[in-house]
Amino acid sequence: MTPASLNLANLDIDVLRTLAVATDLGGFAKAADRLGRSQSAVSLQMRRLEERVGRPLFRKQGRHLALTESGDVILGYARRILELNDEALAAARGIAVEGTVRFGVPQDFGESWLPRVLARFTRAHPAVLIEARVDRANRLAEQIAGGGLDLALVWGRKSQANAIPVGRVPMVWIGRKDYTRKKSDVVPLALFDPPCVFRQPGVEALKRARLDWRLAFTSPSLAGLWAAAEAGLGLTIRTTLALPPALAAVGAASGLPKLPEIDLALYTAEREPSPAVRRLRDILLEELATVIPASRGRSR
């Protein structure tokens, strides 16, 4: 054994999971509720983690706590360690998991996020066949209601049962980074055809603000709306998830009204889904917690 190895310490996976859950949920109190522990027990785990690392992991941010630079580093490694740990257990326990899972996802998640999630699931459950569909929210909701999909991630509130709320994300006006607008300008919009859960809130906000608008571009695909916005044909309405580099959120500086938040939920077609569907659902919720914005402050 070398002298350097004597200084190494093992990180407790249980403590790392608490750190990840607390970060995703936005506080130690919420993590305690999720994990079935007292808040003092969670706080003690975090103090012991700081002692093990030898660096402070949290700093004060107003009345809350935020991660330090060392805390961000540990959180990144914690997620990797937990993912490998969970994949190992799932692979060992789930060798017999077979079947097909039909999964639908909005276009916002189709390019960068979805491949990573599906790759993680496939590594753990290679015998399960996944049929993925990227589509608009209203069509995904129809597919879930009609039994055409087993799982669907959907924008907006729907009347279907078996929904797990994922979070609420602010809608924003999106345009070129150099977009400017005079007070007298008619607002050009690039939008999906109705029904669209982003279209109506934007139009209503403009009407309340007494701003004139015109429909400059329509497209059945989000890529088409991004292209129109990049070309300067009009503004579109979305969230900042998967935002192309050439575009940015524009709003108050351009005299545009504030937009509401939009719900995101994961829908399951069956009340008692198959083991394969349950496993994909669990992985989806874990991965979504890393991309849906949490509260800015972390409270102890």
Question: How far is the CA of 178 from the CAs of 181, 230, 249, in angstroms?
Answer: 10, 10, 11
Domain end position, chosen among 69, 91, 113 = 91
CB 97 within 8 A of CB 279: yes
The distance of Cα 196 from the centroid of its chain, to the nearest Å, equals 20
Per-residue confidence in pLDDT tens, the chain, 300 aa: 454 444 667 888 889 989 988 887 778 888 888 888 888 898 899 999 998 898 889 887 766 678 889 989 999 899 888 878 877 776 666 556 678 999 999 998 887 788 888 888 888 788 888 999 999 988 998 899 888 999 999 998 766 668 888 888 999 999 999 888 887 789 999 999 888 999 999 999 999 999 999 999 999 999 999 999 999 999 999 999 888 999 999 977 788 999 999 999 999 988 888 888 988 998 898 888 878 754 333 333
Task: Tell whether 204 and 230 lie within a shared domain.
Answer: yes
Query: For residue 63, what are the domain limits?
Result: 3-91
What residues contact 105, with CB distance under 8 A and at least 6 apart?
114, 132, 133, 134, 140, 152, 153
d(CA 273, CA 254): 47
Q: Do residue 130 and residue 149 come from a single domain?
A: yes
Q: Are residues 155 and 193 in the same domain?
A: no
Note whether 169 and 264 are within 8 A (CB): yes
Domain contains 61: yes
Residue 237 and residue 191 in one domain? yes
240 and 281 within one domain: no
Containing 142, the helix (H) or strand (E) segment is: helix 137-145
Residues 61 and 189 grouped into a single domain: no
- Does 253 share its domain with 267? no
91, 108, 124 - which closes a domain: 91
Q: What is the pLDDT of residue 279?
A: 86
Give the count of domains, the chain.
3
Looking at the structure, do residues 8 and 66 belong to the same domain, yes or no? yes
Tell me, yes or no, whether 296 lies in a domain: no
* Residue where a domain stops, chosen among 41, 72, 91: 91
Residues 137 and 282 placed together within one structural domain of the fold: yes
pLDDT at 1: 46
Asked if residue 188 and residue 44 are part of one domain, the reply reads no
Instruction: Indicate whether 293 belongs to any domain.
Output: no
Name the β-bridge partners of 131: 102
CA 202, distance to chain mean position in Å, is: 22
Q: Would residue 162 count as lying in a domain?
A: yes
User: Residue 228 belongs to a domain with what CATH number?
Assistant: 3.40.190.10
Q: Is residue 16 located within the same domain as residue 75?
A: yes
- Residue 179 has what DSSP assignment? -
Pairing of strands 247-250, 172-176: antiparallel
* 32, part of any domain: yes
125 in the same domain as 272: yes
pTM to 2 decimals?
0.68
Examine residue 297 and state whether it is found in any structural domain, yes or no. Answer: no
- Domain of 63: which CATH number? 1.10.10.10
The answer to whether position 298 is within a domain reads no
Write out the DSSP string of 20-71: HHHHHHTBHHHHHHHHT--HHHHHHHHHHHHHHHTS--EEEETTEEEE-HHH
In a domain, 299, yes or no: no
